[in-house]
Structure 1
C-alpha cells in the first residue's frame, strides 16, 4: 500500500500485496465483469464462486482463480472506472512493480516477483479533484454532471463494499486477508476522494454570502462507508502490545488508513501489561494503593535505585500552605557545590512562575503513602521544567530571573508532593483537590510526562520519507509529522486518564515531552493545516484531523499578542466550552469511579467541595443539578443511566463507555439545543415521533413501517420495493429499524459492582404500547443512517410541554444490510421475514410486537423527560 502515509520511525514494513491476476482487466463494464469471467453476476455478491461446466453442471473453482478474479475486478476494475470518469487512459502496468522476493545479507536482491504498487494513486485522485473543479469553473461540467459521475463511481463502490464486507465477515473465507486489505484500502481512498470532489464542486462555487452557512447540496449526496479491516490486522495490533480497548476505538472511530498506520506505530512498555484489559475497559493504568510502588528512572535518568534516596519535604509546611488558601510549590536549586536542594514554598501570585506536572500514576511518579519522591525523579523534573521557565514566556510575563535563565533554579508543582496523603489530614486533602483548577490555571505552563510519549520521536528522517510527494509544490513539510503526533497522543496512557484531562484543558500553555524535545501543542497542531490532509489518497478521518483541537483551543482565547483575554469563570459557564470538555471525556478511565464528578466539577467551574461532601453514589446526580444547563445531546448518549427519580435520562458515567467518538461529536455539537435540569426532569427541544402498536407491547427489535397504522405491505411489488436497498436510499417509503441498546458495560473501576443497561424484560409492558421515539432536535428519522435516540412513554401535554418517562436508549437504522435479506433460512430480523410473521399472526387474530407505525404526521418538539 505505497500510497499511504507512514510514521517517522515505523516498526514494520508497509503492506505489500502480491500481483495475483492470471489475466489483465478487460476494460469492459464493471458490473457485468463476473459473467464475462464465467460467474453469475448476482451469485458472486453472495460469495458463490461456482461456474457452469459445458453441460450446465456446477463446478468448484480453485482459490487461485477466485483471488485472481477478485483482484482483477475489485482492484484494477475499480481503478479503470475512475480513469474513465476523469477522462484518462488506464494502463494496468502503472500499478504493478517488480520487487526482489528475497534480500541477501549483502543487500542484493534475489528472485524478482510482481506486486501491486499504488504510488500513482495520490496523483490520480488529486487530478480528479482539480480537473473537476476546473471544468466546473469553465462551465464544462454542471454540478448535476458532477453528481451523475460521482453516482456512477458510487455504484461501483457499493458493489465492492458488499463483496469485501461478506468476505471479511465470512467464517470460512479462504481469500488471502492482505488481498482483502488492499481492496478495502483502495475502496476507502476512492470513497474519500469522491466525497471531496462532490463537496468541493458545490461549496467552492457558492456565492460568498452563503459560504460557511448550514447549506447542503441538493439531491443526491455520497454516503461515507466504513471499510472494515481483516481480523489479522487487529490480531497483529494485539500481539504488538496494543490495548484491546484502544483496538476497539480504532475499529469504531477510525478508517482503514488509520488502522494500517497504527500497525506501524511503535508501542512502549511491556507487551503483557494489557493482558487483563478488554474491549470495553483498559485497566492497565488503574492503581492499587495498597501495592503501589514508586519507581526510579521513569524520566530516563537511568537510575536503578541502588544509591538513590527519597527526598523528604516539610509536611507541615505543605498542609499549612493549603489551609491558608495558597498553593505549595517545589523549589529546586543547584547550590554553589553543584548539589540539588529541594524545598516547599508558597506561590504568592506575584513571585516566580512554576510549571505544573501532568503524569500518569501507573508510570511510577506517584506515592500513596508519603509525600516524597526519589532524588533522581526530582532532579529530572528540575532539568525539564527549568527549560520551559527559561526559554518560554508569554508576552506580558515578568523578566526571567538570572538563576532560572542559567538553569540553576526552577519551580514546579507535582501532586505527589503537593497534595497531602496522610489519613489524618483528609480535610486538607479535600481542600487541595478543590483548589486544583487554580493550580493549573495560574501555572506558567503544564508539562505532560507520559512514559510512551517520552520514547516517541516525531522528527522526520530521510529513511522514512514517503516515496510519493504529498505536497505538490505547496512548500516544505511541517517540522513534525502531524499524524504521528496526533495518533501518539490520542493513544497514549496520558490521554486515557480522567484527571489528566483537566491538566490539559485548564492551563494557558500545554507542553508534551517527546523523545526529541518538549513541544507546545498549540504550535505544532495548527488547525486546518495538518500534513496528512495533503495526501489525497490518504485522507484521514475527522478524529485524526480534529483530534487535539478540542484540547488546545479550550475556549481560553488569546489576542494577536498571545495574551489570554477570556475571563476563566465566564468561559467555564459557556456552553461551547462545556460541549468541548464533554466530548473529551469519551474513552477515559480512572481508578475510582467516585472521582469522575469531582474532576468534572473542577473543569466546569463548580466548587468541588459540594460534591466531596456528597455520598459517592449521589455525586453524578448532584453534578447535573448544580450545572443546571446541559447540552441536550447528553440525554441521547447510548450509555447506562441513573436510576434516581426524574434523573432516569442522565448518564451514570461519561467516561470509559465504549461508544463511537463520532456519536459523541454529533450529539454534543453546537447544532443541537441546550437542556435545563428541573425538579420534574430535563426540559429540552427534541424531535418526537409517536408510534402506534395497535395495543401490542413492542419487542426489543421492531420495525416502523410506512403507511396508516395496521397496514401491512402486500406480497409482490410493494414488498419488493421495501427490500431493495439500492432503490430506497432517499425514499419516503423506507422501513426504520428500532433496536434496543443493550450492550453491557464491564466494571473498570475496581470499587464498583459493575453496571449495564437494563434488559428489555424489565420495562413495563404497558409502557411499550404506543411509545414515542425521540431523536435530537435537528435529527429527522427519514434521514437516519444510524441515529441514537431514546424511547419514552406515551406522553401527556401540560402547558404546551410533553411530559414522558424515559424508557431506554435505542438505535435507529435505515438500509441496514441485515434488514434486506431474502433468504428463508436467514435471521428472522429481515424485513420480508417480519412481514411474513406479521401476516401469519394477524390471520390468527394477534400481533407479533415486531411492527409499529407512525401515529400521525405531527412531530412533538417541546419535552420534559423524567
Structure 2
C-alpha cells in the first residue's frame, strides 16, 4: 500500500506503513479475468462468464478455508487484475492458449517487480516508482483505435464492478492488508479510467465504496494512541469514502494539543461537552496573570438596536495597557469575524469579558491576515461573539442572534481558530494533509461554526505559522490535477467543502437563500453538536433562510424544532416522505413523532450514516398534519392465523421457543412469503463476534416482532412495492383509534398509525418461500396427529393439578417424566417428518441448502416446532392508501 498518500505529521516512525504479505499459492494463469473462478473450480462450469454470483453462492454453501481464500483472492483480484489492466491476459470468448504477444513475459515481470523477499517472508510492494512503471507498460500495450481503447476501459470497469461484491462478502478474519491493498488498486484504476474517459468525451459515473471497514480495531487503537477521539474516527468513517482519504486519516498524528479522550465514545467527544456553569476563559499561556477586559453590555445593546449595524472591536496597545473601542459597522466596513471552538477557552457565558492576552494575540492574527491580503487597516477591526454578543438573555442577545447572518456575511474574512489546527505548522504539510486535518478538526464538530463558515465570503484557517484560505487549498488541489491519488482524495474531501459552501448564493454586498436541499442540510449537520439543544433550530433557521424571528418566538424553547419542520414544509411544499423511516430519536409530541428531534445525532444502524442522503432525495413529499405526516405507501395488515379445530394456537406447550431473529408472514392473496427483521437487532447481530454475545442476548427472551404481530392489530408501512429481493425499509405500527379527525375536527380518510419499531421487510424468492410453505404443511399435519391430542390432554391434566400458578405449572412440566417423554416423541416425529420430505423433495433440500447452508439442513425440523409462533397473514393495503404517521 506504499502508493497511497501519506501525511507529513504521521507521528514520525510511530505509525508504520502497513505491508502487504504475499500469500499466493500459485501464479495467475494469464487467461481471462472474469472466468478465473471457474478455471480453478470455484464456480460451476456452466456459469456465464460474467456471472460471479455463482462464486459467491458457492462460498456460502461450501466456504473455502481462510488461507486458501486469501491466496485465491490475491492471485485473482490483485495480480490477475493488474495483468488484465496491462492487456497481458487472453480475452473473453477466445481460447486460453491465444494469449497476447509477450503476455507471459509481462506476467513474469509483474511478479518479479512486485514480490519482495525479506528473510523468510514475502511481501507485495507497489510504490510510486513501480506504479509509474506499470502505467508505462500499460500505455505501450493499449489498443491504438479510439473504439478499441474505449472498449478496453469499459471492460476494466466491468471487471471492477464484478469484483466489488466479492469484497463485501469476504469473512471478518480475512487478512486485512491483502483485502485493502487490492481494494486500493481497484479504486486507483477506476479513477484513472474515469479521467481518461472524460478526456475522450465519454464521462462515466462509477462510484464504489472501497473503504468500508478499512479502519479495523487495530487501526483505531493506533489512532486513539496518537490523539484521535473515538467520535472523530466514527465521523471520518461516515464522511470519507475513499481509501486514499482514509489512509491519510489512519496515518495522521493528532497528539497535539494533549487531550484525554479516554472517556469519549464513538458518538460524543467529552472535550466539547461544555458545562456552561463552570466554564472559565483560558489565557494565551499557562500561568498568565493578566486581567480580563470587560465590554459593557449597554453599549452593545445601543448598536444592535440600529438596523444593519453590529458592534466591532478596535484593539490597541499591549497586554498591560490594552484598550478596546467599540465601533459601529457600516456596509463597507472591513473587519474579520472570528469562528472558534468554545472548548478552546475563547468564550465566556457569564459576561462580555476576556483575558487581555487573548485579545492581544487575536489582534496579531487578524493583522497578519490583513497583511497577507494587502490590507493595511491598523488597528484591525474584529467581531468576536464573546465580546460582541450580549452574554445575558434579553432583547439585546436576541437581536445579536438575529444578526448573526449579517455579521458573517459582511465580514471581509472569517478566521477559524481551532487548537487542533494551531498546533501544527501549515508549511510542513501538503495540501491533502491540511484539508483532511481541517475536516477532521474540532471546528467541524460544532454546529454554530457550520453557519459561520457557510456565510463567509472568505474563509481562513489558522495554523501554527500562518492562516490558510479555503480557496487557496482548492487552488493547490487544482495543481495536482494529473495525480490520480489527489483526484480521489479531492473528490472525497471536496464533499466537505460543498457541505459548507452549498447553502447560499453570494455577491459582493448581499447573500440570498439558495433554497438548499435537505440533503445538504442533513449531510452538513451529521456528527456536529451544540451545548444548548435549543440552539439547533436557530442554526437550521439561518442556514435554510427561514424566519428566524418566528423560531425565536416559540416558547418553550424545546418546541422550536416543530416550528422548523413546519417552516421547512411550507417552504418546500412538504417534507420528503422517507423521513418516516429514519431511526433517530423523534419529537415526543402528538402528531410530530415522525419528525427527527435533531439532525445532529447519528443512530448506530445496519446502514452507514451517509445512506440517509437517499431518503432526502425521494420525490414524494409528506404533508404535516395534526394526526402525523400524511404519506402514500404500500403496506400490510398483519393478522394471526386462525385454526378452527378447538386446539390452542400453539398445540405443543413445553417445546422451547426459538429465539427471535426475524418473523415471517404470508401474503393472504398471493401466497408469497415475507421476512421481517428488527433493525436494532440486525445492527447488534452485525456487531457480535462470538456465539457468547448472541447467547447472552437470547437469554433476554425478547420477541419484539412477534409481540406486535400477536396483537392482531399490527400494520406494516413499506417503502416501495416489496417486490425486490433486497432490503425494504418499513415501519411496524399500531392503528390510532381516535375517530380520525384533524385539528379542525374534520373527519379525514386514511389510516392513522403510531410507529412502534423500525424494521426491514424482504420478499422471499419462490424457492425460499417454498421452505416455509413445506414447513407449514408438516406442522399442520402434526397438529392433526393423535400425538398432539395426547400431548394436549397431558398438559391440561397437569394444568388442572397445579391450578392458576404458571410458575408451578412450568416446574411440573419440566419434572413430569410422562410429559418430558411426550416432548421427546414430538421432536422425534418432527425430525422424521423432515427427513421423509428431504428424501423425496429435492427442491426442498436444495432451497434449504442455499438459504441456511449445509450445516443446518439437518436442523430444519426445529422450525416446525416453532411454526405456530410464526403463523401470520398479511393483507395488502392499497398502494394509494394515505397514511398518517405519528
**Deviations 1:473-513 (CA, angstroms, capped at 9, x unpaired):** xxxxxxx52x3233212211010011111211223332222
Query: Which of 175, 183, 188 is the aligned partner of 1:187?
Result: 183
Q: CA deviation at 1:577?
A: 5.0
Structure 1 match to 2:278 = 291
Give the whole-Å Cα distance in 2 for the aligned partners of 1:47 and 1:437: 59
Which secondary structure does the structure 2 equivalent of 1:654 belong to? coil
Q: Mark the CA change 1:139 to 1:20 in structure 2 (over 3 Å): closer, same or farther.
A: closer
The correspondence of residues 446-845 of structure 1 with structure 2, limited to 5 A, is 446-459=414-427, 481=431, 483-525=432-474, 531=480, 534-535=483-484, 539-540=488-489, 543-558=492-507, 563=508, 568=512, 570-571=513-514, 574=515, 576=516, 578-604=518-544, 605-608=546-549, 610-611=551-552, 613-629=554-570, 631-632=575-576, 633-658=578-603, 660-669=608-617, 672-684=619-631, 687-690=633-636, 702=662, 709=669, 711=671, 738-741=677-680, 760=704, 765=709, 771-775=715-719, 788=729, 790-791=731-732, 804-811=753-760
Q: Is the 8 A contact 1:838 1:847 kept in 2?
A: no
Task: Identify the range of structure 1 (604-613 vs 761-770) with the bigger mean alpha-carbon deviation.
Answer: 761-770
1:365 matched residue in structure 2:
346
Q: How far off its partner does 1:79 sit?
A: 3.9
> Which deviates more from structure 2 when the two are superposed, residues 674-683 or residues 494-503?
674-683
Q: Where in structure 2 are the equivalents of 1:221-370 lying within 5 Å?
A: 226=212, 228-253=214-239, 254-269=241-256, 272-297=259-284, 303-324=285-306, 327-334=309-316, 340-347=322-329, 349-350=330-331, 352-370=333-351
Tell me, yes or no, if the aligned pair for 1:75 and 1:183 is still in contact at 8 Å.
no
**Larger C-alpha radius of gyration, 1 or 2?**
2
Give per-residue Cα distances to partners, 1:744-781, cap 9 Å, x unaligned: 99xxxxxxxxxxxx994798557875634333xxx775
Distance 2:575 2:386 in 1: 35
Equivalent positions of 1:57-96 (< 5 A) are 75-77=78-80, 79-80=82-83, 82-83=85-86, 84=89, 89-90=106-107, 91-96=109-114
CA apart distance, 1:617: 3.1
- Residue number among 412, 415, 420 corresponding to 2:382 in the alignment: 412
**2:705 & 2:466 partners in 1: Cα distance?**
56
Aligned-residue CA RMSD (Å): 5.3
The CA deviation at 1:523 is: 4.5
Alpha-carbon distance in 2 for matches of 1:229, 1:81 = 29
The verdict on how the C-alpha distance between 1:701 and 1:641 changes in structure 2, with shifts beyond 3 A counting, is farther
Quote how far apart the aligned CAs of 1:606 are. Answer: 2.1
- CA–CA separation in structure 1 for the residues paired with 2:348 and 2:452: 19
SS in 2 for 1:645: coil
Q: 3-state SS of the aligned residue for 1:448?
A: strand
Partner residue, 1:7: 7
**What is the aligned partner in structure 1 of residue 29 from structure 2?**
27
Of stretches 411-420 and 793-802 in structure 1, the one that deviates more from structure 2 is 793-802
Task: State the secondary structure of the residue aligned to 1:519.
Answer: strand
Q: Give the Cα separation in 2 of the matches to 1:23 and 1:744.
A: 36
Counterpart-to-counterpart distance in 2, 1:590 and 1:289: 12
Over 3 Å counting, the alpha-carbon distance change for 1:707 and 1:548 in structure 2 is: same
Deviation at 1:440, TM superposition (A): 2.1
Q: Deviations over 1:26-78 (max 9, x none)?
A: 52674368779xxx99679977649xxxxxxxxxxxx8x99877755664455
Does structure 2 conserve the Cα–Cα contact (< 8 Å) formed by 1:20 and 1:67? no
SS in structure 2 opposite 1:551? helix
For 2:303, what is the secondary structure of its paired residue? helix
CA offsets 1:209-259 (integer angstroms, 9 cap, x no match): xx89xxx99xxx989783544321121112112111122233445344433
Structure 1 unaligned segments of length 5 or more: list them: 51-62, 102-110, 169-178, 298-302, 394-404, 462-479, 714-734, 746-757
Counterparts of 1:852 and 1:540 in 2: how far apart (Å)? 51
Distance 1:639 1:374, change over 3 A: same
2: distance between equivalents of 1:688 and 1:594? Answer: 36
Tell me the alpha carbon deviations over residues 819-863 of structure 1, each in whole angstroms, 9 at most, x when there is no partner: 999999x999959999999997779883516x876838x644865
Offset from partner CA, 1:440-480 (integer Å, 9 cap, x none): 2332332111111123444467xxxxxxxxxxxxxxxxxx5
Which structure shows the higher helix fraction?
A: 2
Is the Cα contact below 8 Å between 2:640 and 2:709 reproduced in 1? no
2:831: which partner in 1? none
What is the DSSP-based 3-state SS (H/G/I as helix, E as strand, rest coil) of the residue aligned with 2:276?
coil
Question: CA separation in 2, counterparts of 1:28 and 1:287?
Answer: 61
Q: Which whole-Å CA distance do the structure 2 matches of 1:854 and 1:228 have between them?
A: 44
2:407 to 417, 436, 439: 439
Q: For the structure 1 residues 688 and 441, does the alpha-carbon distance in structure 2 shift closer, same or farther, using more than 3 Å as the test?
A: farther
Tell me the equivalent position of 1:17.
19
Alpha-carbon spacing, 1:250–1:763, altered in 2? closer, same or farther (3 Å) = farther
Q: Distance in 2 between matches of 1:15 and 1:441?
A: 43
The runs of 5 or more residues in structure 2 that have no matched partner are 43-54, 92-99, 643-648, 650-658, 685-701, 742-746, 772-843
Q: Does the aligned pair in 1 maintain the 2:231–2:269 contact within 8 Å?
A: yes
User: What secondary structure is seen at the aligned counterpart in 1 of 2:172?
Assistant: helix
User: Does the Cα contact within 8 Å between 2:314 and 2:327 map onto a contact in 1?
Assistant: no
TM-score (norm 2): 0.68
Distance 1:634 1:74, change over 3 A: same
Q: Does 2:866 match 1:855?
A: no
Q: What SS does the aligned partner of 1:421 have?
A: coil
Do structure 1's residue 116 and structure 2's residue 124 form an aligned pair? yes
Secondary structure of the residue aligned to 2:278 is: coil
> Whole-Å Cα distance in 1 between the matches of residues 289 and 408 of structure 2?
34
Aligned position for 2:826: none
| CA spacing shift, 1:634–1:271, aligned 2, 3 Å | farther
Provide the secondary structure at the position in 2 that maps to 1:640.
Answer: coil
Whether the 8 Å CA contact 1:527–1:549 is kept in 2: the answer is no
User: For residues 204 and 487 of structure 1, what CA distance do their matches in structure 2 show?
Assistant: 31
Distance 1:773 1:838 in 2: 30
Q: Secondary structure at the match of 1:412?
A: strand
Q: Is the 8 A contact 1:828 1:834 kept in 2?
A: no
Q: Is the 8 Å Cα contact of residues 495 and 588 (structure 1) preserved in structure 2? A: yes
Inter-partner Cα distance in structure 2 for 1:829 and 1:188? 32
* 3-state SS, counterpart of residue 546 of structure 1: helix
Tell me which moved more, 704-713 or 452-461.
704-713
The answer on whether the counterparts of 2:542 and 2:548 sit within 8 Å (CA) in structure 1 is yes
Report if aligned partners of 1:785, 1:815 keep a CA contact under 8 Å in 2.
no
Judged with a 3 Å threshold, the aligned counterparts in structure 2 of structure 1 residues 643 and 331 are, in CA distance, closer, same or farther, namely closer
Contact persistence 1:453–1:515 (CA under 8 A): yes
Residue correspondences, number:
727
1:172 corresponds in structure 2 to none
The structure-2 alpha-carbon separation of the partners of 1:71 and 1:691, relative to structure 1 and needing over 3 Å to count, comes to same
How has the CA–CA distance of structure 1 residues 828 and 515 changed in structure 2, closer, same or farther, with 3 Å as cutoff? farther
Residue 586 to residue 6, structure 1, CA distance change in 2 (3 Å):
same
SS of residue matched to 2:505: coil
What's the secondary structure of 2:325's corresponding residue? strand
Residues 777-808 of structure 1, C-alpha deviation per residue, up to 9 Å, x if partnerless? xx775568666554556799998877554444
